[in-house]
Chains A and B, each alone.
Chain A
Amino acid sequence: MRVTVRLFARLRDITGASELARDLAPGATIGTVWRQLAGEFPALADYERSISSAVNADYARMDHVLRDGDEVAFLPPVSGG
């Protein structure tokens, strides 16, 4: 299955992309995608404990199981206002 990954702020700078496509095995979770990306982009490791994640524009936990076509987002600590 294939998911779209959205990256924001400094995560976007680290990966050089605001959007990536990733192919995953069935049963993959948000955490699976994060570990795959962290393997590709070691600088993401700094964010291991501080990111939030979302699926299809709703906050979701790392153990959330993904489905084909999902949009996964990784969010560094926020600074709105």
Chain B
Amino acid sequence: MQDEESLVRRAQQRDQEAFAQLYEGYFDKIYRYAVLRIGNETEAEDVTQQVFLNALQSISSFRWKGVPFSAWLFRIAHNQVVDYLRKKTRQATESLDESLVISKSDPQLVVEQRLDTEQLILATKRLTKAQQEVIALRFVSELSTAQVAKVMGKSQGAIKALQHSAIVALRKALSVG
């Protein structure tokens, strides 16, 4: 991706190509974040679409004041997920759809990875909201500690401590099955 700051400035001036590059650069990450937080592919798709539409509507209000664009976008995603979970009346721990796409062509590997992913989603439900957030941002969307700190509005030290406790809790949850 081209220098993100200049891309964002161009996007703020309604440069469609710049918008498209930002969209392509973050689409998969936001989608994966939504899948892990929500646990359902179809609903994660709706949330992902809404995140980008919200970002499109409010990008003119974004300012580079120590907050990177990634943090701003993931905050929109976080708010969208929280809003979705609040509105949802039934439990969010349904198993993943059969259509969940894993990026490998070996059928055996696909099955194993789907099981791994389902297991992970179920296990993260046993974690606190903050721990779920840090696992999703750090390992599934692959943000750096600094970026996660900006998204969650905490110091990097606090995020490092949180990720430690999140991994310990996840390990415990996975071993319980």
Task: Please say whether chains A and B are actual partners in one complex.
Answer: no
Q: Which of B's residues lie within 8 Å of A, judged by CB?
A: none
Question: Using a CB–CB distance below 8 Å, which chain A residues touch chain B?
Answer: none
